[in-house]
């Protein structure tokens, strides 16, 4: 049996091959281009790599062109966490020496000794991986949009509180097209106070608003003409120019988030698991795509629901030593899936009577705080999702929360 380890870098990669006894058979440094990939595949073929019996490979990343080349066929590629690889390095050397060829050798020996405790990269379909790219990009775009909105709000607090008061009643506030259009029309409070009702209405129409324009224009005009403290005219003008620059960045972030959301809505319904995922309470297209992106569509990735729950960070972890024992939440987890799970459980409270009863029971009888109760609910939902995906059956409220269904039936009777 031959094992391969690759120490990944930006421009070059170090490769090491070992046999069952740990003997170093070959080492090579390749470039991160098509020529380097060809050299790597030729080196693997020289030591017996075939399509039917490929050599397993350990590498410290799960993405990139190199990983895409290696994942062709049935080859098993193991993405080893860099922190875990560092612990393995300390097993054979106490001097803390480190080198790229040495790291490649460590990765190869990880497979030689402990391949059974590591999971290979899941065999997701191309459609599943494409949805994962779009869902993660859309989530990043939303986080970037919120970050830009927070910067804009912080700037407005310094010299333009009237704008914050004017947009306080709007959902999404500064991210709304009307808010951005008004701020571009009047980037300073002095100019905003001089806006006429017609100018405000025109800005609303440019932003795409079609209802309640006149009444909202009157309200905005009244707020802008109220008494507020002001910066000096020269400083106010400079802050207005900074505002315009931030608006351009916020505009781009909003456009990117909207375009990516549209791309997710077009690609996610094409997946065969979509009907099962959307049958769960609290999961829509965007959130369902995020859950699919992080779990994947390889149904053999997790041996049971417990493995998925641990990966999602919803199941607790026990730490015991001697007479001391504690049960706490998991800190090493898939953060994106855990974040989506919090939103999923929160939305399920209003979409599923059984989920709401389960949440209240955790709060009232077990004394859980809000976050702990939601995490427990997510733990139950993600286990149910695992079962439904395996048998390809939609969510059933009566089977998911039988105690709650019986209680509601008795109450109705």
How confident is the model at residue 407, as a pLDDT? Answer: 56
User: Does the pLDDT at position 388 exceed 80?
Assistant: yes
36-52: average pLDDT: 91
How confident is the model at residue 411, as a pLDDT? Answer: 47
151-155: average pLDDT: 95
Domain extent listing, the chain:
3-117, 130-266, 275-412
The third-level CATH classification (topology) of the domain covering 3-117 is Nucleotidyltransferase; domain 5 (3.30.420)
Give the model confidence (pLDDT) of 338-363 as tens digits.
999 999 999 999 999 999 999 999 99
* Token representation of residue 395: 């969510």
Q: CB 237: neighbour CB atoms within 10 A?
A: 14
User: Does the pLDDT at position 251 exceed 90?
Assistant: yes
DSSP state of 95: S
Nearest to 92 by CA among 107, 81, 78: 107
405 confidence band (pLDDT: 50, 70, 90): low
How confident is the model at residue 88, as a pLDDT? Answer: 87
110-137: average pLDDT: 92
Give the model confidence (pLDDT) of 156-175 as tens digits.
999 999 999 999 988 888 99
How confident is the model at residue 404, as a pLDDT? Answer: 63
289-317: average pLDDT: 92
Q: At what angle do helices 233-267 and 285-295 cross, to 10 degrees?
A: 70
CB burial class (10 A; 0-12, 13-18, 19+) of residue 65?
exposed
User: Does the pLDDT at position 65 exceed 50?
Assistant: yes
Give the model confidence (pLDDT) of 81-102 as tens digits.
888 888 888 877 777 778 888 8
% of the chain beyond a pLDDT of 70: 98
Q: Which range has the worst mean pLDDT, 190-194, 197-201, 316-320?
A: 316-320
Nearest to 67 by CA among 76, 276, 30: 76
How confident is the model at residue 326, as a pLDDT? Answer: 85
Q: Which range has the worst mean pLDDT, 254-263, 303-312, 400-409?
A: 400-409
How confident is the model at residue 412, as a pLDDT? Answer: 46
Give the model confidence (pLDDT) of 200-213 as tens digits.
999 999 999 998 99
Give the pairing type, strands 317-321 and 324-328.
antiparallel
72 confidence band (pLDDT: 50, 70, 90): confident
């Amino acid at each position: 049996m031959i094992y391969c380890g690759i120490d990944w870098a930006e421009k070059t990669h170090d490769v090491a091959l070992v046999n069952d006894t740990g003997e170093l058979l070959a080492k090579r440094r390749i470039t991160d281009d098509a020529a380097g990939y060809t050299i790597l595949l030729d080196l693997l073929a020289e030591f017996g790599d075939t399509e039917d019996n490929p050599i397993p490979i350990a590498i410290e990343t799960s993405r990139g062109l190199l990983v895409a080349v290696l994942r062709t066929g049935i080859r098993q590629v193991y993405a080893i966490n860099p922190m875990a690889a560092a612990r393995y390095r300390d097993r054979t050397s106490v001097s803390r020496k480190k080198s790229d060829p040495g790291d490649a050798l460590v990765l190869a020996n990880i497979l030689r000794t402990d391949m059974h405790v590591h999971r290979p990269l899941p065999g997701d379909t191309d459609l599943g991986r494409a949805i994962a790219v779009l869902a993660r990009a859309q989530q990043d775009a939303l986080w970037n949009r919120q970050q830009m909105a927070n910067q804009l709000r912080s700037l407005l607090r310094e010299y333009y509180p009237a704008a914050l008061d004017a947009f306080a009643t709007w959902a999404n506030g500064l991210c709304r097209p009307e808010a951005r259009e008004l701020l571009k029309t009047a980037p300073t409070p002095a100019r905003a106070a001089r806006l006429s009702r017609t100018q405000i209405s025109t800005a609303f129409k440019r932003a795409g608003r079609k209802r309640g324009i006149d009444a909202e224009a009157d309200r905005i005009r009244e707020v802008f003409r109220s008494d507020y403290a002001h910066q000096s005219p020269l400083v106010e003008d400079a802050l207005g120019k900074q505002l315009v620059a931030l608006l351009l960045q916020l505009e781009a972030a909003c456009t990117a988030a909207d375009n990516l959301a549209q791309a997710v809505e077009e690609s996610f319904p094409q997946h065969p698991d979509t009907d099962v995922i959307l049958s769960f309470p609290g999961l829509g297209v965007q959130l369902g795509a995020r859950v699919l992106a992080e779990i994947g569509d390889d149904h053999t990735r997790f041996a049971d629901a417990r493995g998925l729950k641990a990966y999602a960070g919803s199941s607790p972890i026990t730490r015991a030593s001697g007479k001391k024992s504690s049960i706490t939440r998991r800190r090493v987890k898939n953060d994106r899936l855990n974040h989506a799970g919090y939103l999923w459980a929160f939305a399920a409270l209003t979409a599923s009577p059984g989920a709401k009863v389960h949440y209240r029971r955790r709060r009232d009888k077990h004394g859980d705080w809000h976050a702990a109760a939601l995490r427990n609910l997510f733990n139950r939902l993600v286990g149910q999702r695992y079962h439904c995906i395996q048998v390809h059956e939609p969510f059933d409220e009566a089977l998911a929360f039988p105690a709650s269904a019986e209680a509601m039936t008795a109450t109705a009777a």
